[in-house]
Amino acid sequence: MCADRLQRGLTLIELIVFIVIVGVALAGVLTVLNHTTRHSADPLIRKQALTIAEALLEEVMLQPFTWCDPDDANAATATTYAGCTTAESNLAAEAGEARASATPLDNVNDYNGVTTNTNIAGGGAATFAANVTVAQSSLNGIAADASLLITVSVTAGGETIQLQGYRTRYSPNTLP
Ligand SMILES: [Ca+2]
Ligand SMILES: [Ca+2]
Ligand SMILES: [Ca+2]
């Protein structure tokens, strides 16, 4: 009886159960593979977004932090905003100033509200949309009007990378 049963092999029901179990397991493995393949290019976009954010943050951090607009004749000597014809007291660009123009942004606070859109050749279809905010923020006892918090956000492919940095007024008469 026992030997008979061994020789009969699998019943149809056992075979169907086996096929169903293997099918479900295979579907699970393929779903993981599909997900991995679809998202394998994401680290590239994230890395490019980070590079753009770092470059922009560095550009802002390297600007002067003077009392007067650097084009002002008193920029190298003023000790307060009152000593300037054009004071750098506004958290915005002065009239006529624009990034990469003949009258460029020339102070940290001029970058508040700057936006850029970058397309990288060979970097996929993603557009890297960046925006910069500059806000007064006191830092370890340094007054808020002498310490600026710079925030750079870059959005691409549905993800946003944000970098922040502080810039303090350590040399208010140093011009570029
Ligand atoms: Ca200027
Ligand atoms: Ca300016
Ligand atoms: Ca300004």
Q: What is the pLDDT of residues 25-57, one digit of tens each?
A: 999 999 999 988 877 766 888 888 999 999 999
DSSP type of residue 105? -
Backbone angles phi, psi at 50, to 5 degrees: -65, -40
* Number of structural domains in the chain: 2
Whether residue 176 lies inside any domain: the answer is: no
Count CB neighbours of 93 within 10 A.
Answer: 21
C-alpha 113 – ligand 2 centre gap (Å): 13
Gap from CA of 75 to ligand 3 centroid (Å): 13
Q: Is residue 173 part of a domain?
A: no
One domain for residues 49 and 133: yes
| 49 and 103 housed in the same domain | yes
How far does residue 58's CA lie from ligand 1's centre (Å)? 19
- For residues 86 and 32, membership in a common domain is answered with no
Q: Are residues 17 and 100 both part of a single domain?
A: no
Q: How far apart are CA 100 and CA 142, in angstroms?
A: 31
Query: Which ligand does the CA of 96 lie closest to?
Result: 1
Over residues 70-75, mean pLDDT: 95
- Domain range enclosing 21: 2-38
Name the H helices within 39-74: 42-61
> 97 C-alpha to center of ligand 3: Å?
9
Alpha carbon of 65 to ligand 3 centroid (Å) = 10
User: Residues 34, 48: one domain?
Assistant: no
Q: How far is the CA of 107 from the centre of ligand 1 (A)?
A: 8
**95 and 157 together in one domain:** yes
Q: Kindly report the pTM of this predicted structure.
A: 0.75
Same domain flag for 16 and 62: no
Q: Is the pLDDT of residue 123 over 80?
A: no
